[in-house]
Structure 1
Amino acid sequence: MTTRNLYIVDDDDIVRSSLQSLMSVMPDMAIRGFRSGDAFLAAADALAPGCLLLDLHMPGTSGIDVLKAIGVHQSRFVAIVLTGQGDVSLAVLAMKAGAIDFIEKPCDHLALIQAIDLAFARQAHSSLEVARVEAAAAKLALLSSRERDVLRGLIDGRSNKAIAYDLDISPRTVEIYRAKVMEKLEVRSLSEALGIAFAGGWFPAG
């Protein structure tokens, strides 16, 4: 199995140590603790993608500020926030800042483990989606300007004849461009080509 990276950010040494001990029983888990939001952010650029257990009440950079700071790295980090009992309004604020779940202290161990499992599953799905979009964009970047025009016509549901009329070229030339589009996108059907176009952000056509 792939190693799962868990980052525990809490200024309370006892809580942090307890969470590390609890999570260490989970399979294929690499755990690293940070005493403050500032310490985590200082190391963030060098960290592998993973799940963040984030305390909201910390000296220096608060948990909310950490969430805002990692907003540009949402494909790398998913965050579960740890709140005190009754901090529902703060938890809502954290969710709006990008957290995917919140757990009240003292933590229910089973609920915490389930939340972490779901966070990693969500991150894996997100990573696959990012990879799919990047792959589609890379293929679309190979198309010439005229090939892009033809593909956009196909996205709009236009026939070869209609595309030829719009571009002031012959239907036969459209067929040639269409074949080149299929070759460069490495697909065999129009539906596959449209799927790549949509994944690459060409929907609706610009």
Structure 2
Amino acid sequence: MMTDQTVYVVEDDPEMRQSVCHVLASVSVPVETYADAEEFLEGEDGGRAGCLVTDVCLPGMSGFDLQRALARLQVQLPIIMITGYGDVRTAVRAMKAGAVDFIEKPFSGQLLLDSVAQAFKLNDQAISAQAQRVQLHQRSAALTRRERQVMTLVIAGRTNKHIAAELGVSAKTVEIHRGHVMAKMKAGSLAELVRFAGVLERWAS
């Protein structure tokens, strides 16, 4: 599992930290370890890529406290919760709060590797989605005020004729603006333009 992503392990038990590191090192996955949540948060700068493996029960802040703190900081690292005291209620709580997996100790090395691989995949998808949102925002910012008006009406399903009447311009002018919108947004079709607009709307909200 060669990767440029890192697994950040927050675990107060030295033997468990060593065990997790050994499993991940066996497939060449970079690992950083922390004895508690506070130590992990001290180094948080928003630039970490990979996933977080954290025990639920920690001295000081719990794994759930850490999960909430990262959410407040808008850090989107996929989180794998581990615990020696697993029950359905705790597992449901972890998953509802956004954890990608919940593993009960003792667990096999393969189970951990499978969970990390899935977390890495989710992180890749999140990074790609963020990059797309940034690109779409930049494209949208390049539109003129009139082009934004036309785009809003186009994705609402209005025809060029209706848009022209609403804006008080000719249908030919609308057609020109519409062409500019499609080119600037790099949309190959109306369906793609609608999808792009949906991404921007969800991001804004």
Question: Counterpart in 1 of 2:134?
Answer: 134
1:7 maps to amino acid: Y
Q: What's the TM-score once normalised by structure 1's chain length?
A: 0.89
- Greater CA drift, 69-78 or 110-119: 69-78
Gaps of 5+ in 2: none
CA drift of 1:55 comes to: 0.4
- Greater CA drift, 177-186 or 69-78: 69-78
2:169 maps to amino acid: I
For residues 173-192 of structure 1, the aligned pairs below 5 Å read: 173-192=173-192
Indicate if the aligned counterparts of 1:134 and 1:200 stay in contact, CA closer than 8 A: no
CA drift of 1:144 comes to: 1.4
- Greater CA drift, 93-102 or 191-200: 191-200
SS in 1 for 2:39: helix
CA drift of 1:72 comes to: 4.2
Question: Counterpart in 1 of 2:151?
Answer: 151
- Cα distance in structure 2, aligned partners of 1:46 and 1:147: 35
SS in 1 for 2:44: helix
1:3 maps to amino acid: D
Percent of aligned pairs sharing the same letter: 36
Aligned-residue RMSD, C-alpha = 2.0
CA drift of 1:22 comes to: 1.2
Q: What's the TM-score once normalised by structure 2's chain length?
A: 0.90
Gaps of 5+ in 1: none
Q: 1:190 to 1:46 in 2, by over 3 A?
A: closer
SS in 1 for 2:129: helix
Indicate if the aligned counterparts of 2:50 and 2:119 stay in contact, CA closer than 8 A: no
Question: Counterpart in 1 of 2:64?
Answer: 64
1:16 maps to amino acid: R
For residues 43-192 of structure 1, the aligned pairs below 5 Å read: 43-45=43-45, 47-72=47-72, 76-192=76-192
Equivalent residue pairs, number: 202
Indicate if the aligned counterparts of 1:49 and 1:76 stay in contact, CA closer than 8 A: no
